[in-house]
């Protein structure tokens, strides 16, 4: 890479008051935690307001050997028009992408041609993108940075003093996907007018979506305990706004990640949300209140999403029950909020995410050195097999490591003998998957297998004992078992769609997932 220095050039919407702008800002915070040299180059070609505070530009000179471009797939061509292809020359270029549906569009997938790999903002997004591109796809659930809101009273924020539910969203991010009307309808089902609780629905960019903003006002009409507001607040006041609520609600149909939910959890708020999509990287039944859903076709009028694509329709009655539960048992709600804070700090902070970045950048440099010194028909970074079907690339390693981490989370819980047996079998199955599906990645195979076996071994030695008995009150292990089963089922789907010769592994993964789920029914 010539005279380029080791480090990262970050391009992104660092001034934009939007989710994709926050993606880049969070990435920069993780780079700093990892002690990685970086330079930040702002990109401003977006309709979002550009008044977010940002001054962490690193060295300012983008003369490092790795690029991370915080621009979604649809905007990569625009980015290259602005900066030119020369910014890619002699550099390893990573795209930081978000996507909200289970299927990634073919026309967006073409943007991967300009990149060496993609980091997706959640495991959900990664599975979608990996099915459509042949470049490595890394799940990179965004760091969750605990907000530090200024001390603002509800009076200063013009908020009521009653028990307050809240939902905040950007109308530019698609009204139907954010689903604010569902929050209003569920609140109406949960509480009669004047009963006590209040609901605030807060949006931005309503001036560009006047009809949709009016539909929210109509849904809230006749209920003085429901208020709709639109408009930007200063960044600090927006944080204070969320911090002022008692509970946060998102009945989204799909999310690439779910930043406002993550921020509310980091502030210790009980969060009620649809049990679907990117938010499940950081939400579970122990740290939040998850709402079941039915799968449904999107239908016309939600471009750029295809009408025949699938997303979630949250069950409004279940959402209403969750709202009622949070209001009536505020001690339990606060306990879940405290658990959310602990989980965010332990598993999702910028310091935790920095470990992935440091490790991945080190491996990229090793791969590039190997590629330059020992050219091979199968480049490790590209992870292509000789088959006409795409082979395993680094996203599979990341998913396996996510599964290992999930199992590791069970170690401290001390499951009973049935869980030991199920997870012991899981270890054998996933080890088999690692051995057979990542055979082209010998550099990582030993590490994955040893880490997995180490987690299983530690689990087997645990003596503390926690019940997952049917009929008893659910304890923390139940959610972890369900989450592990969900990851296994995702791996099974990938086996069937992407890899030759391991259909039996997919079958065994599904059987083991069913067994895990059976433990907590």
pLDDT tens-digit series, residues 327-342:
999 999 999 999 999 9
- Residues ≥6 apart with Cβ < 8 Å to 163: 196, 197, 198, 246, 247, 327, 330
Q: What is the pLDDT of residue 98?
A: 95
Q: What is the Cα–Cα distance from 409 to 457, expressed in whole angstroms? A: 13
Q: What is the DSSP letter of 147?
A: P
Cβ(258)–Cβ(277) below 8 Å: yes
How far out from the chain centre does Cα 516 lie?
23
Fold of 5-139: Rossmann fold (3.40.50)
Long-range contacts of range 173-178, CB-CB < 8 Å, 24 or more positions apart? 173/18, 173/19, 174/302, 174/305, 175/209, 175/212, 176/253, 176/298, 176/301, 176/302, 177/100, 177/252, 177/253, 177/254, 177/255, 177/302, 177/305, 177/311, 178/250, 178/252, 178/253
CA atoms within 13 A on the CB side of 112: 21
At 512, is the pLDDT very low, low, confident or very high (cuts 50, 70, 90)?
low
Two structure tokens written together for 497:
């769609």
Q: What is the pLDDT of residue 44?
A: 86
Predicted confidence (pLDDT) at residue 202 exceeds the cutoff of 70? yes
Alpha carbon dihedral 281, 53, 268, 172, in 10-degree steps, equals -60
- Element containing residue 228 per DSSP (H, E): strand 226-230
pLDDT tens-digit series, residues 15-24:
888 888 889 9
pLDDT, greater one: 385 or 141 = 141
A 10 A CB-CB count for 521 gives 9
pLDDT tens-digit series, residues 261-276:
999 999 999 999 999 9
pLDDT, greater one: 366 or 456 = 366
Q: What is the pLDDT of residue 47?
A: 78
Cβ(270)–Cβ(252) below 8 Å: no
At 459, is the pLDDT very low, low, confident or very high (cuts 50, 70, 90)?
very low
At 194, is the pLDDT very low, low, confident or very high (cuts 50, 70, 90)?
confident
CA distances from 88 to 25, 452, 453 (A): 21, 36, 40
Q: What is the pLDDT of residue 497?
A: 54
Predicted confidence (pLDDT) at residue 407 exceeds the cutoff of 60? no
Q: What is the pLDDT of residue 315?
A: 98
pLDDT tens-digit series, residues 420-434:
444 445 554 554 444
Two structure tokens written together for 404:
């290992």
Q: What is the pLDDT of residue 340?
A: 96
Q: What is the pLDDT of residue 234?
A: 83
Q: What is the Cα–Cα distance from 354 to 337, expressed in whole angstroms? A: 25
Predicted confidence (pLDDT) at residue 216 exceeds the cutoff of 80? yes
Predicted confidence (pLDDT) at residue 227 exceeds the cutoff of 70? yes
Q: Give the residues across from 11 on adjacent strands.
A: 41, 69
Fold of 164-347: Rossmann fold (3.40.50)
Predicted confidence (pLDDT) at residue 175 exceeds the cutoff of 70? yes
Q: What is the Cα–Cα distance from 222 to 201, expressed in whole angstroms? A: 15
pLDDT, greater one: 261 or 53 = 261
- Element containing residue 45 per DSSP (H, E): none
Q: What is the Cα–Cα distance from 275 to 44, expressed in whole angstroms? A: 34
Question: What are the phi and psi torsion angles at 172 (to 5°)?
Answer: -70, -15
Q: What is the pLDDT of residue 412?
A: 37
Cβ(485)–Cβ(516) below 8 Å: yes
At 436, is the pLDDT very low, low, confident or very high (cuts 50, 70, 90)?
very low
A 10 A CB-CB count for 5 gives 12
Q: What is the Cα–Cα distance from 173 to 445, expressed in whole angstroms? A: 40
A 10 A CB-CB count for 78 gives 13
Q: What is the Cα–Cα distance from 149 to 163, expressed in whole angstroms? A: 20
pLDDT tens-digit series, residues 339-389:
999 999 999 999 999 999 999 999 898 877 776 665 443 333 333 333 333
Least confident interval from 142-146, 221-225, 349-353, 467-471:
467-471
- Residues ≥6 apart with Cβ < 8 Å to 208: 47, 171, 172
Mean pLDDT value of segment 450-476: 40
Report helix, strand and coil shares of the chain as percent, to nearest 5: 50, 15, 35
Predicted confidence (pLDDT) at residue 469 exceeds the cutoff of 90? no
């Amino acid at each position: 890479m010539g005279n380029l220095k080791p480090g990262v050039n970050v391009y992104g919407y660092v001034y934009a008051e939007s989710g994709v702008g926050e993606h880049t800002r969070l990435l920069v915070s993780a780079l700093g935690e990892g002690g990685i040299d970086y330079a930040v180059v702002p990109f401003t070609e977006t309709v979002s307001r550009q008044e977010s505070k940002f001054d962490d530009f690193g060295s300012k000179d983008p003369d490092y050997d790795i690029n991370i471009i915080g621009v979604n797939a649809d905007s990569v061509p625009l980015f290259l028009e602005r900066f030119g292809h020369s910014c890619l020359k002699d550099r390893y270029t990573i795209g930081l992408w978000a996507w909200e549906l289970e299927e990634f569009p073919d026309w967006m997938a073409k943007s991967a041609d300009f990149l060496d790999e993609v980091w997706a903002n959640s495991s959900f997004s990664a599975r979608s993108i990996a099915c459509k591109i042949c470049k490595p796809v890394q799940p990179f659930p965004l760091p969750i940075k605990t907000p530090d809101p200024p001390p603002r009273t509800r009076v200063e924020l013009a908020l009521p003093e009653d028990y307050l539910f809240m939902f905040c969203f950007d109308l530019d991010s698609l009204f139907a996907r954010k689903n604010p009307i569902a929050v209003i309808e569920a609140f109406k089902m949960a509480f009669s007018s004047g009963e006590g609780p209040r609901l605030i629905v807060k949006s931005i960019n309503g001036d560009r979506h006047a009809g949709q903003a009016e539909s929210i006002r109509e849904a809230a009409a006749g209920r003085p305990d429901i208020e709709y507001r639109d408009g930007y607040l200063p960044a600090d006041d927006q944080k204070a706004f969320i911090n002022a609520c008692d509970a946060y609600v998102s009945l989204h149909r799909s999310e690439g990640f779910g930043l406002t939910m993550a921020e509310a959890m980091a502030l210790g708020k009980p969060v009620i949300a649809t049990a679907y999509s990117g938010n499940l990287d950081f939400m579970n039944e122990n740290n939040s209140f998850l709402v079941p859903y039915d799968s449904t076709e999107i239908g016309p009028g939600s471009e750029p999403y295809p009408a025949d694509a699938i997303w979630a329709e949250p069950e409004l009655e279940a959402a209403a029950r969750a709202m009622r539960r949070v209001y009536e048992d505020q001690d339990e709600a606060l306990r879940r909020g405290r658990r959310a804070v602990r989980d965010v700090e332990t598993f999702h902070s910028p310091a935790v995410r920095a470990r992935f970045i440091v490790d991945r950048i080190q491996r990229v440099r090793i791969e590039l050195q190997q590629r330059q010194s020992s050219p091979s028909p199968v480049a490790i970074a590209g992870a292509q097999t000789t088959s006409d079907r795409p082979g395993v690339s680094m996203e599979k390693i990341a998913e396996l490591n996510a599964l290992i981490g999930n199992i590791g989370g069970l170690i401290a819980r001390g499951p009973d003998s049935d869980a030991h047996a199920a997870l012991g079998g899981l270890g054998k199955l996933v080890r088999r998957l690692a051995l057979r599906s990542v055979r082209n990645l010998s550099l990582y195979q030993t590490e994955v297998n040893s880490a997995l076996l180490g987690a299983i071994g530690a689990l087997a030695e645990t003596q503390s004992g926690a019940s997952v008995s049917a009929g008893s009150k659910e304890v923390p292990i139940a959610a972890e078992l369900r989450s592990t089963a969900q990851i296994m089922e995702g791996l099974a789907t990938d086996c069937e769609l992407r890899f030759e010769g391991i259909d039996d592994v997919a079958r065994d993964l599904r059987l083991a997932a069913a067994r895990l789920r059976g433990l907590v029914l």
